[in-house]
Amino acid sequence: MCGIVGIFDTRGARPIDPALLKRMNETQHHRGPDEGDIYTEPGVGFGHRRLSVIDLAAGQQPMFNAAGDVGVVFNGEIYNYRELTAELQGMGYAFRTNSDTEAIVHAWEAWGEDCVHRLRGMFAIAIWDRNKRTMFMARDHMGVKPFFYALLPDGMFIFGSELKSLRAHPGLSREIDPTAVEDYFAYGYVPEPKTIYGAARKLAPGWCLTVRVGQPVPQPRQYWDVPFKLHEKMTEQDAAGELAARVREAVQSQLKADVPLGAFLSGGVDSSAVVAMMANLTDEPVNTCSIAFNDKAFDESEYAGVVAAQYKTNHHVETVDTDDYALLDTLAGLYDEPYADSSAIPTYRVCQLARKRVTVALSGDGGDENLAGYRRYRLTMAEDAVRSKIPSSLRRGVFGPLGKYYPKADWAPRVFRAKTTFESLARDLVEGYFHGVSIMSDAMRARLFSDGFRLRLQGYRALDVMRGHAAKAPTDDPLSLIQYLDMKTYLPGDILTKVDRASMAHALEVRVPLLDHQLVEWISGLSSSIKLKNGEGKYIFKKSMERHLPHDILYRRKQGFAVPLAAWFRGPLRQRVRESLLGPELAATGIFNTAFLRELVEQHESGRRDYSAPIWTVLMFEAFLRKELEGGAA
């Protein structure tokens, strides 16, 4: 686990400034505090910060082959590197280390760009082949590890594990992309492949990019996608049994480490399942970490304690104050671009706790997207069942006006919010799902932005992101389609981004066995009818875990990490909200309608509306802008 950076001359072999490369590399010191090095030759520079996890003595990067003409830097772990090493040794390749990095070097020599199909793990990779004058870059199948890049006006191509490493290069334009702002205020993050800057991009999950000296930089290409190809018919019992076996195998594949290893344990189904599998695979007690909250409304630690007691784990719990808002500015520095998931606060704290005990932690992330665990899937499917029975012309003609004029009831449970339901029914599945997950609706964003900024958008809408993915989806099954949309947007843009930055801020490696791409492929082939059944999300997963976990863990009401934003904004953060949303900095951007910002603040303060999510989203955007004015210091 580590951070990588690079500079590559696409036009020739100009010298690379080692001082600049070192500055870029050191912005990511937190990702790899154990070791760091840079390498330059005419036209190419690599930098690497190392968090030592495998082959502590000999896994340093950049790593070259014996001839010195193929070099690699990479961030992540290749879980099948021992099998790859054995295969490559059988082909005649000699290994000098026991590291997964060297397996990548020789995999490139053996298979070229096809090497990426042999890799099982989480990774962001850059390979320099001097003889072919080629730089090959790839990001793992699900996007667990980040990869940022930019082509500068002078033909230099730069890349790094975090956006801050690119910002350290004076040639990067930091002009904000208006469409990324529109996306952010809809989703709460900037979806792949955009960044907040028009000049920089993220390499999307399952995509790679090959750049050759003297040739135009091409568009990235996709090397893998979630197939959603249905299996041959199987019974529920058989599906549950095979799912449990495959989860166990995915967990087992990720237990290799030469440093202390443990797991997050929240008390939810996914993390509990991972811990159960770990406990069955190891002789020593599993190290588990949980955080508790001093407000019982947000605390799940008792459920984590039940699982810890069942499997006799070496369990550690720390209590976090629910008024833990001091991290607000820290988060703005961690994420480098606007990021509005407030659960980043407890995620930061659980990573901080885990690092006191272990260097590697397994998490349960990905189960909800894979196995239809989110409540919104159930609601969307209920709406779609109604929608499918009514002609589209009637839906738009009747439910559209009803949604427009029906009173808004933010205070009510969603099932009773007729305005929201009417609005969703008037749309097709993709637009209805987008409407349901948006932090700010189309109508609210139209009021949020100034007239001038809306003109800059030239008709662009954040819905276009989901429309683009839906057009390429390998399935037309409604539930599978919205799962696919989340795997392309919410999972990499929000969930995995949150965990990567929060964990690497503490030099902690987090592995996600439920996102093993082979497991994801198999799960995608299960019928939707056993993922979401009779209103029960993750139905088949829960069935598969009934031998391993108590009923109350599997079937209790889902509760995620949450913080009391509404109370903060009416209490201890009231003045901060006013200063941030109504101050001169946001007004000076020309992006916002200041009258609407004032309406948000005043209506929330009065208690007439709960605008905590929109306010947090604007607050984090303002915090990002302040970091920009400070020179982007993390």
Active site residues per annotation = 2
Q: How far is it, in rounded angstroms, from Cα 616 to Cα 568?
A: 10
**Alpha carbon 59 to chain centroid, angstroms:** 27
Q: What is the CA radius of gyration of the chain?
A: 24
Residue 170 CB coordination number (10 Å): 8
Which residues lie below 8 Å from residue 90, measured CB to CB, with a gap of 6+? none
Residue that the structure tokens 């009416």 belong to: 570
Q: Which two tokens stand for residue 147?
A: 């990869």
Alpha-carbon dihedral sign for residues 29, 35, 40, 44: negative
The kind and range of the H/E element at 2 are strand 2-9
For residues 132 and 213, the answer to whether their CB atoms sit within 8 Å is: no
Residue type for position 304: A
Strands 287-293 and 314-320: parallel
Q: Which long-range contacts (CB under 8 A, 24 or more apart) does 91-97 make?
A: 94/66, 96/58, 96/66, 97/55, 97/58, 97/59, 97/63
Strand order across the 207-212 sheet? 63-64, 70-78, 121-129, 134-139, 207-212, 221-222
CA-to-CA dists, residue 495 to 142, 344, 388, angstroms: 11, 9, 31
571 CB burial (10 A radius; 0-12, 13-18, 19+): exposed
Instruction: Read off φ and ψ for residue 360, nearest 5 degrees.
Output: -125, 135
**Alpha carbon 587 to chain centroid, angstroms:** 31
Q: Which two tokens stand for residue 621?
A: 């955007």
Q: In 269-381, where do the E strands start and end?
A: 287-293, 314-320, 360-362
Alpha-carbon dihedral sign for residues 5, 9, 13, 14: negative
CA-to-CA dists, residue 179 to 70, 207, 312, angstroms: 38, 22, 50
Q: Which two tokens stand for residue 519?
A: 């497991």
Q: How far is it, in rounded angstroms, from Cα 201 to Cα 159?
A: 9
Among candidates 160, 154, 103, which has minimal Cα distance to 137?
160
Decide: helix, strand or coil at residue 136: strand
